[in-house]
């Protein structure tokens, strides 16, 4: 026994306590304060929440038109996912003459490698955005068209609607704003074209709206987070046919912690979902599905009665979800009909007790994490 204890102690030193704790995801893990940074004061959190809820950028669902001026040839060459390079840029909101100085940087992983037009992050300073739609914004993701192709522009509209669905059915979600962006190369001052873009709310502002801050809690299991938001997230991912997420690896998932100790999961980045149906999207080959249109539930194992209030919320928003696909100018009508049929199939599953039990309740992740 002494030798076994020594070996276990040595292994703990080699792998670290977190690595060993993560091997048993079936047990309830304590929320170790050492893994959490200090929580702001209640007054600071209240101030952050008020500022985030008042952001002008997300007060409207109307597309925001603006021009971005930068050296896009130089930006396009910066494909290193670890790059910290910033490029000087200017932004002019349509209908105004004010020029907002700012910086752009590349971001992403898959799309950064594959897209001819890279995804961007827009960075601002407070004094330059006062009085503009970007007031109180510091850093925002801009989802771009990726390729100069009509279908890729449709992908931007499709993913935008997935975020809008998330806002309807989930108690916690990122806000988004469509943009109509004209890109001008600063080296030649020639227009690079006008395309749809997708602005995603910053993580900090999203977390502040729900009374918390973003945490980097990797190796989290299902037991580590609040169960109602977890069930909502898992059912939403199943709804849109998305398997490209992991709570354990914080892949396309962020977690918020609140002063009361709650850990809240929030998903994002849905272009690999079956609802978006991008032609480049493929599922992980280790999963038992052949394409992203096939749904696979990857959430926790829960009894039917625990699912009831979550399912009721989704069903209650059904009409609003479907209406989204008739409300967006520019969306391909053939795709809109196909999307509604895809969503109707989801609703048939959760509205039929037998199908709900077979596809969700019994087809769950018994390991306690994903």
Q: Quick one: residue 349, left, alpha or beta (phi over 0 = left, psi -120 to 50 = alpha)?
A: alpha
Residue 314's pLDDT is 98
Q: In this predicted model, which residue has the larger pLDDT, 14 or 365?
A: 365
Radius of gyration of the chain (CA): 22
d(CA 73, CA 83): 16
Q: Which residues make beta-bridge pairs with 89?
A: 70, 102
CA distance 112 to 349: 36
pLDDT digits (tens, 9 = 90+) for 298-312: 999 999 999 999 999
**Rounded to 5 degrees, what are φ and ψ at 300?**
-80, 165
In the predicted structure, residue 235 carries a pLDDT above the cut 90: yes
**Mean pLDDT over each residue of the chain, to the nearest integer:** 90
Q: What is the pLDDT of residues 73-112, one digit of tens each?
A: 999 999 998 899 999 999 999 999 889 999 999 998 888 8
> Beta strand 253-257 with 176-185: parallel, antiparallel or unpaired?
unpaired
For residue 298, CA distances in Å to 98, 107, 235, 367 come to 48, 27, 9, 10
Dist. CA 40–CA 258, nearest whole Å: 10
Residue 253: strand pairing partners: 267
Q: Quote the pLDDT of residue 247.
A: 96
Residue 368's pLDDT is: 65
CA atoms within a 13 Å half-sphere pointing along the CA-CB vector of 176: 27
* Per-residue pLDDT, 37: 61
State the average pLDDT over residues 267-276.
Answer: 98
Cβ pair 367, 26 in contact under 8 A: yes
What is the phi/psi pair of residue 80, to 5°?
-75, 120
Structure tokens of 114? 């594959």
Mean pLDDT on 187-202: 97
Would strands 190-200 and 213-215 be described as parallel, antiparallel, or unpaired?
unpaired
Cβ-based neighbour number of residue 104 at 10 Å: 23
Alpha-carbon span 114 to 143, nearest angstrom: 14
Residue 208 contacts residue 49 (beta carbons within 8 Å) = yes
Give the pLDDT confidence score for residue 15 in this predicted structure: 33
* φ, ψ dihedrals at 55, nearest 5°: -55, 125
Degrees to nearest 5, angle at CA 140 with 134 and 146: 120
Percent of the chain with pLDDT over 90: 83
Task: For Cα atoms 200, 282, 203, give the angle at the middle one, nearest 5 degrees.
Answer: 20
pLDDT of residue 12: 38
SS3 label, residue 68: strand
Q: What are phi and psi of 70, to 5 degrees?
A: -165, 170
pLDDT level of residue 369 (50, 70, 90 thresholds): low
130 DSSP assignment: T
């Amino acid at each position: 026994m002494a030798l076994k204890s020594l070996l276990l102690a040595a292994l703990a030193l080699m792998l670290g306590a977190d690595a060993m704790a993560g091997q048993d995801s079936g047990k309830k893990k304590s929320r170790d304060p050492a893994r959490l940074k200090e929580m702001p004061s209640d007054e600071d959190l209240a101030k952050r929440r008020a500022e985030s809820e008042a952001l002008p950028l997300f007060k409207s669902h109307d597309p925001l038109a603006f021009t971005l001026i930068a050296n896009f040839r130089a930006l396009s060459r910066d494909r290193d996912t670890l790059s910290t390079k910033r490029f000087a840029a200017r932004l002019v909101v349509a209908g105004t003459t004010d020029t907002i100085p700012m910086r752009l940087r590349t971001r992403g992983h898959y799309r950064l490698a594959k897209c001819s037009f890279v995804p961007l992050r827009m960075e601002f300073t407070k004094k330059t955005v006062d009085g503009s739609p970007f007031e109180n914004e510091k850093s925002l993701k801009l989802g771009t068209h990726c390729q100069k192709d009509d279908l890729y522009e449709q992908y931007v509209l499709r993913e935008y609607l997935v975020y809008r669905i998330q806002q309807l059915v989930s108690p916690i979600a990122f806000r988004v704003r469509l943009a109509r962006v004209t890109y001008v190369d600063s080296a030649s001052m020639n227009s690079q074209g006008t395309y749809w873009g997708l602005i995603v709310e910053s993580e900090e502002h999203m977390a502040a709206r729900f009374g918390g801050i973003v945490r980097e809690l990797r190796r989290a299991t299902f037991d580590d987070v609040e169960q109602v938001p977890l069930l909502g997230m898992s059912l939403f991912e199943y709804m849109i046919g998305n398997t490209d997420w992991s709570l354990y690896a914080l892949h396309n998932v962020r977690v918020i912690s609140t002063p009361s100790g709650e850990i809240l999961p929030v998903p994002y980045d849905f272009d690999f979902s079956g609802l978006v149906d991008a032609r480049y999207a493929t599922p992980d080959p280790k999963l038992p599905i052949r394409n992203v249109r096939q749904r696979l539930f990857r959430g926790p194992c829960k009894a039917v009665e625990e699912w009831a209030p979550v399912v009721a919320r989704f069903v209650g928003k059904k009409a609003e979800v479907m209406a989204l696909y008739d409300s967006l100018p520019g969306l391909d009508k053939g795709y809109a009909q196909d999307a509604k049929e895809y969503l109707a199939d989801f609703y048939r599953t959760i509205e039929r007790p037998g199908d709900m039990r077979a596809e969700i309740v019994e087809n769950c992740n018994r390991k306690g994490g994903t």
